[in-house]
Amino acid sequence: MKARTFIDFRSILVAAFVFAVSASSSLVADSTFTNLTEPNQIRTFHDVTDRIRCICIPSIPIKSCSFNNCTVSAKLKLFIENRIRAGEDADTIVNKMVHGFGPEVVTDPIVAKFIENGNQGMAQSIVVGFGPDILAKPDSTWIDLSIAAAGALGVLLMYLYLKRRTAPKAAIATEVDGDSSFHRYISEIEEKQK
């Protein structure tokens, strides 16, 4: 029984460790997919998406914001691709994200789709600019550290819980084994006396 509990505990620790590592690495990893094919355009895309924050999760750059996390940011990445195809460089795109692309940008298919779907706020922000709040913060280390600390705390709490839960069972098993030895000893003495 004790060996099985140890294996279960070790399995839980391994699973918790794998989960913590995969969760923290997904925040750090570049999850950006682009339809661009030219190397210069891809570099520009990565530069821009590293400097602009995710719309739904402001603590990470849009580069690390996946389609599952935020569909608006995914569409904004397509808009950035369109700007790169139009010949704009990274600094120009980032500057226009802050200060606005102007009214002529409503012909862009992504902006037109925002307007068609009733997302006037996003379309308006692209036209007049998001302001400096759209810029990604330079360092998200504290977020990664807090996730790692929460994972470590979770593993520690699981360890303490399982240790506490299995300790009484082990003590009871020892007592039962001791009791049965004692009963056998008494039985042997009684048989000798007969």
- Where do the structural domains in the chain lie, given as residue ranges? 1-30+139-172, 31-138
Is 30 within 8 Å of 43 (Cβ atoms)? Answer: no
* Confidence band for 31, pLDDT divided at 50, 70 and 90: very low
CA distances from 23 to 14, 148, 192 (A): 14, 9, 67
Report the C-alpha gap between 12 and 164 in whole angstroms: 15
Is 60 within 8 Å of 140 (Cβ atoms)? Answer: yes
Nearest 5°: phi and psi at 86?
-75, -5
Among 83-87, 102-106, 171-175, name the one with the lowest average pLDDT: 171-175
The one-letter code for the residue type at 69 is: N
Task: Report the percentage of the chain scoring pLDDT > 90.
Answer: 39
Is 90 within 8 Å of 47 (Cβ atoms)? Answer: yes
* Confidence band for 82, pLDDT divided at 50, 70 and 90: very high
Report the C-alpha gap between 39 and 57 in whole angstroms: 28
Range 96-109 average pLDDT: 94
- For 127, other C-beta atoms within 10 Å of its C-beta total 15
Range 89-96 average pLDDT: 95
- The per-residue pLDDT for 146 is 82
Using DSSP's 3-state secondary structure scheme, residue 35 falls into coil
**Best-predicted range by mean pLDDT (126-130, 144-148, 163-167):** 126-130
In the predicted model, is pLDDT for residue 26 greater than 60? no
Cβ-proximal residues to 110 (8 Å cutoff; 6+ apart), any chain: 75, 76, 78, 79, 82
In the predicted model, is pLDDT for residue 131 greater than 80? yes
Nearest 5°: phi and psi at 135?
-70, 135
In the predicted model, is pLDDT for residue 27 greater than 70? no
Among 82-96, 118-132, 163-177, name the one with the lowest average pLDDT: 163-177
Q: Which residue has the higher pLDDT, 17 or 114?
A: 114
